[in-house]
């Protein structure tokens, strides 16, 4: 705290590294897949964003912090980040941390990045930062609740908090929460102590927070934290179920304001862990099929392609829904995204206005065969878009190389790389109007409901692909034993997030 006293404004390192791994896709995520800001642009470009970083920046402004930008980098969920890309992102953060004395660090992280060599990039990043700045510089981070919190990333943080909603409508609020805790740590008002429980299970659906077992758990957690003045915050991490790694499971973490609340925090973490385990068989869902959905309604419907969700790391290369519509519901006007590098190249070479015949889709996984189409190239280019809906509103997302093809009543947004299509901005910012569409296909299972609700009815449908919940086909090894793969006995027991905090000396 002495450094703070000497200077007027605390120097707080800020940054964002945001991507979510699917450990079983053949793709990798290179540096080019990230939308990146550096230097002052980290602050100016993200100040308005409804992301954890935006929440940190806005709170820092109010608190009068001297913000030290490192890097802000966001990529679509997908394959493991290449070692080269991670080395670049890591050094951007470490170089900024070396640029002068720091009073604190506040980061926006997804929490589920895996690299070619690491099962938790965030654990590695935070460990290296801790080694660099020493034990006395407070370090906090806000996470997506699908983060791999059992993989070691909590061990280096003074405070961590995850979104409390799925679909995720509270990223900015999560950033504000961690930054406000940091402000109070810097003022000497708090010294958080975290207690965590790892529940060895995967969820297989029914894992939104607005209903079902997670609604009850979040409600109980919120009430207990509000009623107990020794407690600060409780997070329930539902790890992305498409990764392997030591500690993959559900992580409950409860922070007390200081050492005196340690037992209360441990008791709540343990209780929530017991509730989660007892509810393990209820985390399942049954989704409607395309046919069931189109029998019910045929206008202004947004279909979440559950099995091929780019937002959970699938390649987004399946045209399953479009093919079914063409086969049985041809009068419907459809807008759909699809990942296909060769088709983008072919359309780009042909040029805007050209008529092309091509096969598209099925280019990466091969699970869903390609579709042959003849159409007109409406546009080609390299794009970005801005989120309009509540999920990361205001944040700029990368589209990369793309082509828009009109084939009869089907409008395809073909991208070279997997596209996050949870927001109408990805279509509108490329000039693809949605007013005349009957059906919009998105590669999202949850977050699209926050952004497309004003346009039409949002329904997640059962489709094939890499993001169907089926841990039995994935071949998880390091995460074992794990429900539902193994028969195991589990008793919840809370342990400190920072092992040295056991005695709270
Ligand atoms: Zn998430």
- pLDDT tens per residue across span 248-270: 999 999 999 999 999 999 999 99
Distances from the Cα of 334 to the Cα of 323, 432, 435, angstroms:
11, 11, 11
Distance from the alpha carbon of residue 408 to the mean position of ligand 1, in angstroms: 35
Whether residue 478 is contained in a domain is answered as no
Q: What is the pLDDT of residue 1?
A: 46
Whether residue 472 is contained in a domain is answered as no
Distance from the alpha carbon of residue 257 to the mean position of ligand 1, in angstroms: 27
- Mean residue pLDDT of the chain comes to 95
Distance from the alpha carbon of residue 166 to the mean position of ligand 1, in angstroms: 7
Q: What is the pLDDT of residue 463?
A: 97
Distance from the alpha carbon of residue 265 to the mean position of ligand 1, in angstroms: 24
Distance from the alpha carbon of residue 65 to the mean position of ligand 1, in angstroms: 29
Distance from the alpha carbon of residue 146 to the mean position of ligand 1, in angstroms: 5
Distance from the alpha carbon of residue 472 to the mean position of ligand 1, in angstroms: 22
pLDDT (average), residues 36-40: 97
Q: What is the pLDDT of residue 224?
A: 98
Whether residue 243 is contained in a domain is answered as yes
pLDDT (average), residues 146-162: 98
Distance from the alpha carbon of residue 373 to the mean position of ligand 1, in angstroms: 34
Domain shared by 6 and 22, yes or no: yes
Distance from the alpha carbon of residue 168 to the mean position of ligand 1, in angstroms: 7
Q: What is the pLDDT of residue 2?
A: 47
Q: How confident is the model at residue 73 (pLDDT cuts 50, 70, 90)?
A: very high
Q: At what angle do helices 83-97 and 121-133 cross, to 10 degrees?
A: 30
Strand partners, 109: 17, 143
505, two tokens: 């000396």
Distance from the alpha carbon of residue 313 to the mean position of ligand 1, in angstroms: 11
Which of 145, 139, 140 is CA-nearest to residue 110?
A: 145
Distance from the alpha carbon of residue 162 to the mean position of ligand 1, in angstroms: 10
pLDDT (average), residues 334-342: 98
Domain shared by 409 and 326, yes or no: yes
Domain shared by 62 and 27, yes or no: yes
Distance from the alpha carbon of residue 2 to the mean position of ligand 1, in angstroms: 38
Which of 119, 194, 110, 116 is CA-nearest to residue 151?
A: 119
Q: What is the pLDDT of residue 499?
A: 79
Distance from the alpha carbon of residue 354 to the mean position of ligand 1, in angstroms: 40
Distance from the alpha carbon of residue 141 to the mean position of ligand 1, in angstroms: 15
460, two tokens: 């997640």
Distance from the alpha carbon of residue 79 to the mean position of ligand 1, in angstroms: 16
Q: How confident is the model at residue 497 (pLDDT cuts 50, 70, 90)?
A: very high
434 in Cβ contact with 335 (< 8 Å): yes
387 in Cβ contact with 394 (< 8 Å): yes
Q: CA-CA distance, 308 to 43, in Å (whole number)? A: 34
Beta-sheet strand order (sheet of 11-18): 35-38, 66-74, 11-18, 104-109, 139-143, 159-162
Distances from the Cα of 60 to the Cα of 43, 105, 175, angstroms:
10, 11, 10
Query: What percentage of the chain exceeds 70 in pLDDT?
Result: 98
Q: What is the pLDDT of residue 7?
A: 61
Distance from the alpha carbon of residue 312 to the mean position of ligand 1, in angstroms: 8
Domain shared by 297 and 277, yes or no: no
Whether residue 400 is contained in a domain is answered as yes
Q: What is the pLDDT of residue 356?
A: 98
Domain shared by 255 and 398, yes or no: no
pLDDT of 503 > 70? The answer is no
Q: CA-CA distance, 14 to 422, in Å (whole number)? A: 26
pLDDT of 94 > 70? The answer is yes
Whether residue 45 is contained in a domain is answered as yes
Backbone angles phi, psi at 396, to 5 degrees: -85, 130
Domain shared by 21 and 154, yes or no: yes
Distance from the alpha carbon of residue 84 to the mean position of ligand 1, in angstroms: 25
pLDDT (average), residues 125-142: 97
| Residue environment code for 122-134, b if the CB has 16+ CB neighbours within 10 A, otherwise e | bbbbbebbbeebe
What's the domain range around 16? Answer: 2-282+492-497
Distance from the alpha carbon of residue 192 to the mean position of ligand 1, in angstroms: 25
Domain shared by 239 and 347, yes or no: no
Domain shared by 397 and 306, yes or no: yes
Q: Length of the chain in residues, anyone? A: 505
Domain shared by 154 and 170, yes or no: yes
Distance from the alpha carbon of residue 112 to the mean position of ligand 1, in angstroms: 9
Q: CA-CA distance, 395 to 345, in Å (whole number)? A: 28
Domain shared by 245 and 382, yes or no: no
Q: CA-CA distance, 247 to 478, in Å (whole number)? A: 8
pLDDT (average), residues 349-365: 96
Distance from the alpha carbon of residue 451 to the mean position of ligand 1, in angstroms: 15
Strand 66-74 with 11-18, pairing? parallel
Q: Say whether the peptide bond before residue 224 is cis (omega within 30 degrees of 0).
A: no
Distance from the alpha carbon of residue 147 to the mean position of ligand 1, in angstroms: 7
Whether residue 503 is contained in a domain is answered as no
408: left (phi over 0), alpha (psi -120 to 50) or beta: left
Distance from the alpha carbon of residue 176 to the mean position of ligand 1, in angstroms: 18
Other C-beta atoms closer than 10 Å to the C-beta of 26 total 10
* CATH code assigned at 46: 3.40.50.2300
Q: What is the pLDDT of residue 500?
A: 75
pLDDT (average), residues 108-128: 98
Q: CA-CA distance, 425 to 457, in Å (whole number)? A: 17
Whether residue 342 is contained in a domain is answered as yes
Instruction: Tell how far CA 327 is from the center of its chain.
Output: 34
pTM over 0.85, yes/no: yes
Q: CA-CA distance, 173 to 162, in Å (whole number)? A: 10
Strand partners, 335: 411, 440
Whether residue 471 is contained in a domain is answered as no
Q: What is the pLDDT of residue 505?
A: 63
Distance from the alpha carbon of residue 64 to the mean position of ligand 1, in angstroms: 31
Distance from the alpha carbon of residue 242 to the mean position of ligand 1, in angstroms: 12
- Look up residue 217 and give its DSSP letter: H
Domain shared by 300 and 253, yes or no: no
Distance from the alpha carbon of residue 422 to the mean position of ligand 1, in angstroms: 12
Distances from the Cα of 314 to the Cα of 132, 235, 332, 445, 501, angstroms:
36, 26, 26, 11, 39
pLDDT of 4 > 60? The answer is no
Tally the domains of the chain: 2
67, two tokens: 């913000």
Distance from the alpha carbon of residue 144 to the mean position of ligand 1, in angstroms: 5
51 in Cβ contact with 43 (< 8 Å): no
Strand partners, 405: 377, 412
Q: CA-CA distance, 273 to 200, in Å (whole number)? A: 10
**Sign, Cα dihedral of 439, 442, 447, 450:** negative
Distance from the alpha carbon of residue 237 to the mean position of ligand 1, in angstroms: 9
Domain shared by 56 and 197, yes or no: yes
- How confident is the model over 366-382, as pLDDT tens digits? 878 999 999 999 999 99
Strand 104-109 with 139-143, pairing? parallel
Distance from the alpha carbon of residue 374 to the mean position of ligand 1, in angstroms: 37
Comparing 193-207, 407-421, 458-472, 488-502, the range with the smallest average pLDDT is 488-502
Distance from the alpha carbon of residue 395 to the mean position of ligand 1, in angstroms: 16
Other C-beta atoms closer than 10 Å to the C-beta of 223 total 10
């Amino acid at each position: 705290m002495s450094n703070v006293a000497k200077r007027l404004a605390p120097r707080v390192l800020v940054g964002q590294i945001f991507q979510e791994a699917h450990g079983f896709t053949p793709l990798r995520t290179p540096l080019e897949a990230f939308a990146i800001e550096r230097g002052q642009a980290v602050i100016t470009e993200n100040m308005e964003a409804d992301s954890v970083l935006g929440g940190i920046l806005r709170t820092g402004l109010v608190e009068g912090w001297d913000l030290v930008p490192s890097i802000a980098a966001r990529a679509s969920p997908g394959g493991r980040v290449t070692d080269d890309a991670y080395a670049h992102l890591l050094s951007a953060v470490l170089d900024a941390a070396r640029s002068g004395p720091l009073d604190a660090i506040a980061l926006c992280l997804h929490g589920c990045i895996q690299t070619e060599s690491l099962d938790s990039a965030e654990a590695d990043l935070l460990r290296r930062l801790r080694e660099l700045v020493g034990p006395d510089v407070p370090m906090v981070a806000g996470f997506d609740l699908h983060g791999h919190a059992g993989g070691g990333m909590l061990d280096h943080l003074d405070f961590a908090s995850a979104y409390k909603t799925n679909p995720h409508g509270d990223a900015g609020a999560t950033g504000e929460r961690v930054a406000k805790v940091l402000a109070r740590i810097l003022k000497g008002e708090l010294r958080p102590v975290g207690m965590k429980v790892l529940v060895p299970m995967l969820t297989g659906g029914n894992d939104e927070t607005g209903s079902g077992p997670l609604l009850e758990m979040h409600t109980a957690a919120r009430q207990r934290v509000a009623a107990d003045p020794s407690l600060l915050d409780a997070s329930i991490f539902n790890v992305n179920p498409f990764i392997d790694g030591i500690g993959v499971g559900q992580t409950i973490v409860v922070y007390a304001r200081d050492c005196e609340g340690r037992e209360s925090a441990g008791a709540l973490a343990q209780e929530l862990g017991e509730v989660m385990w007892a509810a393990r068989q209820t985390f399942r869902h049954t989704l409607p099929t395309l046919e069931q959905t189109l029998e019910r309604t045929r206008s202004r419907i947004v279909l979440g392609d559950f099995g091929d969700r780019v937002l959970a790391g699938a390649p987004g290369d399946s045209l399953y829904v479009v093919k079914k519509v063409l086969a049985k519901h041809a009068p419907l006007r459809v807008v759909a995204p699809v990942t296909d590098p060769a088709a983008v190249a072919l359309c780009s070479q042909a040029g805007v206005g050209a008529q092309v015949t091509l096969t598209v889709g099925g280019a990466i996984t091969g699970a869903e065969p390609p579709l042959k189409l003849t159409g007109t190239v409406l546009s080609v280019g390299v794009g970005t878009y801005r989120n309009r809906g509540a999920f990361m509103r205001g944040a700029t997302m990368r589209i990369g190389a793309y082509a828009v093809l009109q084939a009869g009543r089907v409008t395809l947004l073909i991208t070279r790389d997997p596209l996050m299509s949870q927001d109408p901005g990805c279509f509108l910012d490329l000039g693809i109007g949605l007013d005349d569409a009957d059906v919009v296909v998105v590669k999202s299972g949850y977050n699209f409901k926050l952004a497309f609700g004003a346009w039409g009815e949002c329904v997640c449908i059962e489709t094939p692909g890499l993001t169907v919940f089926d841990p039995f086909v994935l071949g998880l090894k390091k995460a074992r034993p794990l429900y539902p793969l193994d028969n195991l006995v589990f008793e919840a027991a809370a342990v400190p997030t920072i092992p040295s905090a056991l005695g709270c000396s």
